[in-house]
Amino acid sequence: MLSKKELYRWCCIKKEELLSHPDRKVPLRIVKDADELGEVMARDFADEIKAANAENRAFKAIVPCGPKQWYEPFARMVNEERISLKNMVVFHMDENLDWEGKLLPKEDPSNFRTFMDRYFYGPIDPELAVLPINRYYLTPDNVKEISAIIVETEIDYTLGGWGQDGHVAYNQAKRNPYVPVTIEEIKESTARVQENNFDTILALSQREYGAAWQFQPPMSVTLGVKECMKAKKIRVYSGTGAWKQTALRAALFADEPLAEYPMTLLQQHPDALITATEETADHPFSHHPEWEFKGVNV
Q: What is the average per-residue pLDDT within 78-104?
A: 98
Tens of pLDDT, residue by residue over 166-177, are 999 999 999 999
Tens of pLDDT, residue by residue over 215-230, are 999 999 999 999 999 9
Tens of pLDDT, residue by residue over 132-148, are 999 999 999 999 999 99
Percent of the chain at pLDDT > 70 equals 99
Tens of pLDDT, residue by residue over 44-66, are 999 999 999 999 999 999 999 98
| Confidence at residue 296, expressed as pLDDT on a 0 to 100 scale | 76
Averaged confidence pLDDT in the chain? 96
Residue 298 has pLDDT above 60, yes or no: no
Tens of pLDDT, residue by residue over 3-43, are 999 999 999 999 999 999 999 999 999 999 999 999 999 99
| Confidence at residue 292, expressed as pLDDT on a 0 to 100 scale | 84
Transcribe the chain into DSSP letters.
---HHHHHHHHTS-GGGTTT-TT--S-EEEESSHHHHHHHHHHHHHHHHHHHHHTT--EEEEE----HHHHHHHHHHHHHHT---TTEEEEE-EEEE-TTS-BPPTT-TT-HHHHHIIIIITTS-GGGSPPGGGEE---TTTHHHHHHHHHTS---EEEE---TT--STT-PPP--TTS---HHHHHT--SEEEEPPHHHHHHHHHHHHTT-GGGS--EEEE--HHHHTTSSEEEEEE--THHHHHHHHHHHH-SS-BTTBGGGGGGG-TTEEEEEEHHHH--GGGG-TT---TT---
Tens of pLDDT, residue by residue over 243-279, are 999 999 999 999 999 999 999 999 999 999 999 999 9
| Confidence at residue 297, expressed as pLDDT on a 0 to 100 scale | 62
For residues 285 and 12, give the distance between their C-alpha atoms in angstroms, rounded to a whole number: 5
